[in-house]
Chains A and B, each alone.
Chain A
Amino acid sequence: MTTTDTHCPYCSLQCGMRLGAERGGAVQILERPEFPVNRGALCGKGRTAAAVLSPAARLTVPLVRDGRRGRLREASWPEALDRVAQGLRRTAQRHGRDAVGVFGGGGLTNEKAYLLGKFARVVLRTANIDYNGRFCMSSAAAAHKAAFGLDRGLPFPLADIARTGCVILVGGNPAETMPPALRYFRELRENGGRLIVIDPRRTRTAELADLHLRPVPGTDLALALGMLHLVIAEGLVDEEFVSTRTRGFEPATASAMAHWPERVERLTGVSVPAMREAVRMFAQAETGMVLTARGAEQHSKGTDTVGAWINLCLAVGKAGRPGSGYGCLTGQGNGQGGREHGQKADQLPGYRSIEDPAARAHIAEVWGIDPDELPGPGRSAYELLDTAGQDGGIRALLLMGSNPVVSAPRAGHVAERLRELDFLAVSDVVLSETARLADVVLPSAQWAEETGTTTNLEGRVILRQAALTPPQGVRTDLHVLRELAAGLGVDKGFPEDPEEAFEELRRACAGGPADYAGISYQRIRAEDGVFWPCPDEHHPGTPRLFLDRFATPDGRARFAAVSHRPSAEEPDDEYPVYLTTGRVVSQYQSGAQTRRVPELNEAAPGPFVELHPHLAQRLGVTDGELLTVRSRRGRAVAPARVTDAIRPDTVFMPFHWDGAGRANSLTNPALDPVSRMPEFKVCAVSVERAAAS
């Protein structure tokens, strides 16, 4: 058996694992205890990841559709690629370049994300490229950047969590979403640190907490403001830190004064004594961290919400010091790297702004084009999908590594829009729900079959190494991009070799905020990953950011002056219950991969509606009975799961499934004005027993 060190295909922890390839093709997933993030531990998803490599679970031949109503049929690679090139070209000719869209994913490697962005800007010359990371951590990214001048999920290694004094975890459930990370929260408590969890649900993570606050969905912003109010009222402000390392405390104080604790209690349902306890626990700890995840971020006020939590860190001096800081628990495997290298509508590689003339000049030079040829900012993910097939919207779409038919808000509408496209090409590992709508489906190689870097939630750039050869009929995304570029008349600049792509990426991001210039495959192998920024080969990398100064022009962090506002949709007589959505431990994102793993499917076979016994009693519903959940966007049917772990005014649905139980049929695409994040985490629904039929 030959073994290869690599990383898990799933979440942003990017756990180290060792793949053992036996003769005859069988693959074993082995522990890799020396990799620091997970120290050998893997969750059920990671342990069973090899199942998706089996030819039975995946696509091994390109598919094309003849005519609008035709069925997908098998095709050769030349035919499939030719169709894609033609489809994209024809749309650009008929409707203009911006009518061609590109949609990427936070699971793509840095090399793919980089070249996909380059493909959009250099070959297609469209402004309209965005990706599903917009649905993931874009609110945290925007708030992070505004406060600290730089967005890296965690400004410290994950292991620092175990050694801090107090963690406030807002809207995150690592026990289900990234189980191997949980050890650090356990160690935190074993070391005498405190854990405060803020979540409307008593999750498995909340069960570990010293204090669990359960705000009404959509009120985390008010809660953070109320807690800042108490910090000020109780004299817990770190005056020296505030005066020497921050700006904007006065307006932030004014906002906090407008959110006095008794008012916040009314808005959030969290009692003043509980808020006070949390504030004291956090402020009086020697060091502390606030970590947010999707629960706080996926709101039409997600950016402001994260800003308010960062304010709390800044007011008590818990940022920019060892053992302290604000961090975002990024979701997707390459959620971090995927947002740095140019598949985001407003961004160029190295986390540069597409509107910054210096950034444009630099990237244009690396790409060998005139800066004026670079398009400007395009539409955000939901807006891109929402205008698909419409006047002024995109007419053709190339989609890689994403499944918006399941994962986008108001998914029924998104599916309809995708059907209205003149041309849709999807590159994926499996025939996802979105791929089913495509005119051309390109079977793509998987994590174990190709080399490439990802950047985990800590900002650690790591290397996945190919352990296997992809099955015949399967090609890598880099190959696809090179072929398509050539087919569209650009025959240089799209290397198929990942290391060659990475070398170009290093040059492109050099000098940018996310600077990988000093990182090489060789260094990553030797050092268990390298933390960016790493501007040159002699630079050790930066595990801990902001210790001397923040990345703003004057080195000071910025308070955000924010105010609470209601969610875009609050319950009313017609839709009286809150819906919040989320994840279960045995499935990953849209489920495209994990639903094809028998073990995981057995553990989590389908969607459900979690509701409180009081609500169940009122509706006359017992556990397991089918419920119809309706919103202004659509309906979903799934069995009831009765539990007192949820508030009686709220129901919860996991979003991993398509079909009748698709949670995203219900969700609200109201967007955050800054991050363009949709409001996945709260909308108003009605709940009733499904008709007997």
Chain B
Amino acid sequence: MSAVSNGARRRRIAVVGAGLAAARFAQQFLESGGEAELTLYGAEARPAYNRVLLADVLTGRYDPEAITLPYGEPGARLRTGTEVVAIDVRGRTLRLANGESAAYDELVLATGANPVLPPLRGLYADGELTAGAHSFRTLADCARLAEDAVRARRAVVIGGGVLGVSAARALAALGLPVEIVHQAPHLIERHLDEQAGQALRRGLLALGVDVYPGNRARALHGDGRVTGVELANGYVLAADLVVIACGARPRTGLAHSAGLAVRRGVVVDDCLATSAPGVYAIGDCAEHRGTVHGLAGPAWEQADVLAARLSGADPAARYTGSRPLARLTAGPLEYAAFGEVGEDLPGTDVLRLADATRGSYKKLVLRGDRLVGGILLGDLGTVGALTRAYERDDPLPADPLHLLITQGAAQW
């Protein structure tokens, strides 16, 4: 730690960002006894909030104010609506959009990610998203979407990944007929196999969500306001509300301009340190060992490691990676998926249990006595035991069949 401690001046830590990673870092830093003048710079006007819960803000399950996160207040200071526009890593100074500059001793980049907006004809009007078209990443997005949803009659969600499914489910919960247009052959192909994707599709259908897999959106129709989504095959889905859920891209502009090593994300080592001294990166903007996780779990873990290091609670703490887990609880739809779930991995065994009547599907992929992946859909009784075994890389018992059965899991 290169805390500059000349005389009475307190060490200053600046955190760029006010999302989950930033808030957890600040809160843990102070709780672990860290001593610093800690400032979070949030570009949004809102205090820190938990993005994971946005879909259920849309359904009305949470008030928008209710998903606020603790960020170590009053020990830490949050400057909302304060965009950082440049970093001078040599001078250890931030430049803010309002022209101010702010000196730091250590800097934590937790800038998050931007939604990916695909090249759709008609997506923009006058440099803004066409009326009726929405991204779904911030509370402001959520508020606009909720407002539009009141008047909307049909919604289309472009993208059938984790976010798209969760957005579609939320819109359906508001009583809208919803269609998902998804490029891949089945839903959430990054985490689910085909059978699970199909099962999920059936579950969505029961909620009033139609899925068009293997289809690409090409254009938005409408003059000034969306009236439909044109698919690559020429078919047009009528819609007055469109949600773009095509993934997210690490927000790295600031780091890049400052000369930090950036690939897909801001490159960090096991100490979460970037290529510049005194500068760290965590959460959705960070790339660690070639991976940008883009999930809340790893962001939390990175925040904890960095807080332990910088607070002095555990200066030797290291982040060695996370085993990612996709998890959705959305009314009647519930799934967990982790690791490798393909069938064609050499040296693996696959255990599977499908119950079409109850809509549950479970699959485990084993290599020797280790769990390398799994899917649970519908019945999640064993999820705790399985995800822990996966996360800790625990050896499984000689007869792992019972891992598929909830009764058996209760014995764990």
Contacts and interface: CB of A to CB of B under 8 A. Distances in A.
A253 B388 contact: no
A272 B24 contact: no
Given A216-B388, A272-B329, A644-B411, A260 B297 contact: no
Nearest to B72: A563
Contacts of A566: 304
B27 A563 contact: yes
B2 to A, nearest CB: 25
Query: Interface extent on B, as a size class?
Result: 35 or more
B27 A265 contact: no
A262 B297 CA distance: 9
Interface stretch (B110-118, B257-265, B349-357, B391-399): B391-399
B384 A268 contact: yes
Contacts of B52: 260, 262-263
A216 B389 CA distance: 12
A261 B329 contact: yes
A614 B300 CA distance: 31
B68 A254 contact: yes
Interface in A620-651: 644, 647-649
The 9 closest A-B pairs by CB, nearest first: A269-B384, A614-B397, A262-B327, A254-B70, A644-B411, A271-B383, A271-B384, A269-B388, A254-B68
A661 to B, nearest CB: 26
30 contacts: A214-B412, A232-B62, A233-B61, A233-B62, A253-B68, A254-B68, A254-B69, A254-B70, A257-B67, A258-B20, A258-B24, A260-B296, A262-B327, A262-B328, A265-B327, A266-B388, A269-B385, A271-B381, A272-B329, A273-B380, A273-B381, A274-B384, A561-B70, A563-B31, A565-B304, A614-B396, A644-B411, A647-B412, A648-B397, A649-B394
Contacts of A446: none
Interface residues of A, number: 37
A649 B388 contact: yes
B135 interface: no
Interface in A221-238: 232-233
B129 interface: no
Given A272-B380, A563-B70, A260 B50 contact: yes
B300 A263 contact: yes
B53 interface: yes
Interface string A589-630: 000000000000000000000001110011000000000000
B98 to A, nearest CB: 27
Interface of B: 20, 23-24, 27-28, 31-32, 49-50, 52-53, 56, 61-62, 66-70, 296-297, 300, 304, 325, 327-329, 334, 380-385, 387-388, 391-392, 394-398, 411-412
A272 B70 contact: no
Contacts of A233: 56, 61-62
Interface string A186-198: 0000000000000
A258 B50 contact: yes
A257 B69 contact: yes
B27 A648 contact: no
Contacts of A263: 52, 296-297, 300
B34 to A, nearest CB: 13
A565 B61 contact: no
A612 B394 CA distance: 14
Interface in A423-452: none
Contacts of B27: 258, 563
Contacts of B385: 269
Given A269-B385, A271-B384, A565-B31, A260 B53 contact: yes
Nearest to A253: B66
B283 to A, nearest CB: 14
A270 interface: yes
A251 interface: yes
Contacts of B395: 618
Interface of A: 214, 216, 232-233, 251, 253-255, 257-258, 260-263, 265-266, 268-274, 561, 563, 565-566, 571, 612-614, 617-618, 644, 647-649
Contacts of B381: 271, 273-274
B27 to A, nearest CB: 6
B331 to A, nearest CB: 12
Most B CB contacts (10 A, CB to CB) among A268, A273, A274, A614 go to A614
A406 B408 CA distance: 37
Nearest to B383: A271
A566 B383 CA distance: 21
B92 to A, nearest CB: 29
A350 B112 CA distance: 53
Contacts of B394: 648-649
A265 B28 contact: no
Nearest to B56: A233
Nearest to B376: A271
Given A266-B297, A266-B388, 18 more contacts: A232-B66, A255-B70, A257-B66, A258-B20, A260-B52, A260-B53, A263-B297, A265-B327, A265-B384, A266-B325, A269-B384, A271-B380, A565-B28, A565-B31, A612-B412, A617-B397, A617-B398, A649-B388
B327 A257 contact: no
Contacts of B327: 262, 265-266
A253 B68 CA distance: 8
Nearest to A613: B397
B295 to A, nearest CB: 10
B145 to A, nearest CB: 19
Nearest to A235: B61
A270 B24 contact: no
Contact of B392 (A254, A268, A613, A649): A649
Contacts of B411: 644
A255, A274, A617, A648 interface centre (most CB from chain B within 10 Å) = A648
A265 B24 CA distance: 18
**A251, A257, A268: which has the most chain B beta carbons within 10 Å?**
A257
Nearest to A563: B27
Contacts of B387: 265-266, 269
A232 B304 CA distance: 25
Nearest to B328: A262
Contacts of B23: 258
A253 to B, nearest CB: 6
Contacts of B388: 216, 266, 269, 649
Contacts of A563: 27-28, 31, 70
Given A233-B61, A266-B297, A647-B412, A257 B53 contact: yes
**Most chain-A CB neighbours within 10 Å: which of B32, B384, B388, B392?**
B384
Given A257-B66, A262-B327, A270 B384 contact: yes
Contacts of A571: 392
Contacts of B334: 272-273
